[in-house]
A and B are shown apart, each in its own frame.
Chain A
Amino acid sequence: MSMAWEVVIGLEVHVQLNTRSKIFCACSTAFGAEPNAHTCPVCLAMPGSLPVLNAAAVDKAIAFGLAIGAEINHRSIFARKNYFYPDLPKGYQISQYEIPIVGRGYLDVLLPNGEEKRVGITRAHLEEDAGKSLHDAYPGESGIDLNRAGTPLLEIVSEPDMRSAAEAVAYLKKLHALVRYLDISDGNMQEGSFRCDANVSLRRPGAPFGTRAEVKNLNSFRFLEKAISYEMLRQQDILESGGKVVQETRLFDANSGETRSMRSKEEANDYRYFPDPDLLPLQLDAERIEQVRKSLPELPDARKARFMAQYGLPAYDAAVLTAQRELADYYEAVATGQDAKLAANWIMGDLLGALNKAGLEIETCPVPARELQILLARIADQTVSGKIAKEIFEILFHEGGSVDAIIDARGLRQITDNTAIAAMIDEIIAKNPQQAAEYRSGKEKLFGFFIGQVMKVSQGKANPDLVNALLREKLQAPATE
């Protein structure tokens, strides 16, 4: 086995901003329309058309910058990044180069081992997305759909601060949660709203950075992890057999789990950036930035701290529940007026378990928060026992319906009537005189047998505390014949 290598990872993330209209024209950004239905002379690059910057894209970029503790540049500049590809109609992409809108910031990331790590963010800049090419449908030709061309993007560039695939995934997840909290992107990775490229290199610990490969097309957290693991092995093989890692762009193939070189693009990395004469410098006054600051929602770290203070949750529970905005909203809806820790246990155990098993997300959860809240209320007011509540939850999750209707329709109401339970117990003791006698002569283990009998007769509906108390009382009383 060789001496240890240290992996150095930096991520570039392209986030589609969820504005209504495109960044430089008034076309819709909606996903899934007919090809080229959302295009106009500006995003098609017709001669004479001119870009006009979307205020909402600017404000969303500012919101991100404020959330990562970054300097917002009061003056930033749009530049042309020149390259030829048919899904880029102008022959250049409008981006920001020398002075981006968001300067240096950071994200504190919770690692799998429970430690927190600060990952630096170098910059974030505004740019426009390209269109899409379809290569298979037309022999000898490619079809071009420019609906996506001009969709606003925020490109977020991290420092090379991550030292394992797990750290990179933790950073990407935190970033994803943040853009969802800020409501600056829908974060939909399948639809390409949140795309990640990874720069990966190896070095001996303490040595200068090694040559890196840039891996593209990482549209899930799992792919990021797989691609980094693959790159680490590939580069280790090269270095240990005396070779040199080539600085290049590689594409992750989700089917094989491997990365492969995109040689064709290598040579063209000469973008000849220059300031776009069609766009003036973007000046932001303190008032505009302050306006955005005032409209910022509660962010994940602040919400976690509040969950600990307000609901008395342990740090771990608070971290899990605030990792996604939707999950945190769900928790707060359920916990309102209920035992907060019990609500956390139900959501982190039963609910997340069931969602995971069914391959669903909290956004597509079949149990409305209101129903889970009612279920907890029915446990609290002793309408049902905790055990029956689990059964009701299964029904809610798989068949739907409302808690109270399920309780009534299936006769699941807990029996809390002393007289009724006492009658059951009398009958059971009468039917099992031998066991009763043995219990009374000291075989206390038989108490469990009687509990089981009462639960069987009551179909699990007898209130466990009452059963316990009454049974003890009756079994301790001397035999009455």
Chain B
Amino acid sequence: MEAEIVRRIAHLSRIALPESELAQVAGQLDSIFALVAQMQAVPTEGIEPMAHPLDLQQPLRADQLRSETPSREELLASAPRAEDGLFLVPKVIE
């Protein structure tokens, strides 16, 4: 696994990965891919792929509004920054 690919995956996942750890993580990812390759070698012809490990189907909810709502203040309280009812985050536009 090339360092460049590891860097890209880390960026897409927003994980800060120090340069010094790239090689180690690349090695770990390689062994995971080896396991995947081993599983992919299993003959699965004619077997429908599963989308979920449980053989159940999605239950549906009636289109109704919740009667009890946690207050907005309560919900905003868990954010590091909030003002005027808005969550505040570091500026995301150039």
Contact = CB atoms under 8 A, between A and B. Distances in A.
Interface of A: 19-21, 25-28, 34-37, 39-41, 44, 46, 52-58, 77-78, 82, 84-86, 91, 133-135, 137-138, 140-146, 264, 268, 270, 272, 275, 277, 279-283
User: At the interface, is chain A mostly helix, strand, loop or mixed?
Assistant: loop
| Shortest 4 CB-CB contacts between residues of A and residues of B | A56-B63, A143-B86, A26-B66, A55-B60
Contacts, number: 125
Interface of B: 12, 14, 51-52, 54, 56-66, 69-70, 72, 75-76, 78, 81, 83-94
B92 A35 contact: no
A279 B58 CA distance: 7
Contacts of A144: 86-89
A205 to B, nearest CB: 40
Contacts of B54: 280
Given A35-B85, A135-B91, A268-B12, A53 B60 contact: yes
7 contacts: A27-B65, A39-B72, A52-B61, A53-B61, A54-B63, A142-B89, A281-B58
B12 to A, nearest CB: 6
B57 A281 contact: yes
A280 B88 contact: no
A26 B58 contact: no
Given A53-B61, A264-B94, A277-B52, A141 B12 contact: no
Contacts of A280: 51-52, 54, 56-59
Contacts of B66: 21, 25-27, 40
Contacts of B62: 55-56
Contact of B12 (A46, A133, A270): A270
B63 A142 contact: no
Nearest to B66: A26
A309 B36 CA distance: 64
Contact of A133 (B51, B58, B72, B92): B92
Contact of A142 (B12, B58, B90): B90
Contacts of B63: 19-21, 54-57
Nearest to A272: B12
Nearest to A39: B75
Contacts of B70: 40-41
A86 B58 contact: no
Residue from A28, A36, A134, A145 with most neighbouring chain B CB atoms (10 Å): A36
A389 B64 CA distance: 49
A231 to B, nearest CB: 23
Residue from B59, B62, B88 with most neighbouring chain A CB atoms (10 Å): B88
A282 B57 contact: yes
B93 A142 contact: yes
Given A52-B59, A54-B61, A140-B90, 19 more contacts: A20-B63, A20-B65, A26-B66, A28-B65, A34-B72, A36-B87, A40-B70, A54-B63, A55-B63, A56-B62, A86-B87, A138-B88, A143-B86, A144-B86, A264-B94, A268-B12, A279-B52, A280-B56, A280-B59
Contacts of B60: 52-55, 58
A86 to B, nearest CB: 4
Nearest to B81: A141
A52 B65 CA distance: 13
B5 to A, nearest CB: 11
A142 B91 contact: yes
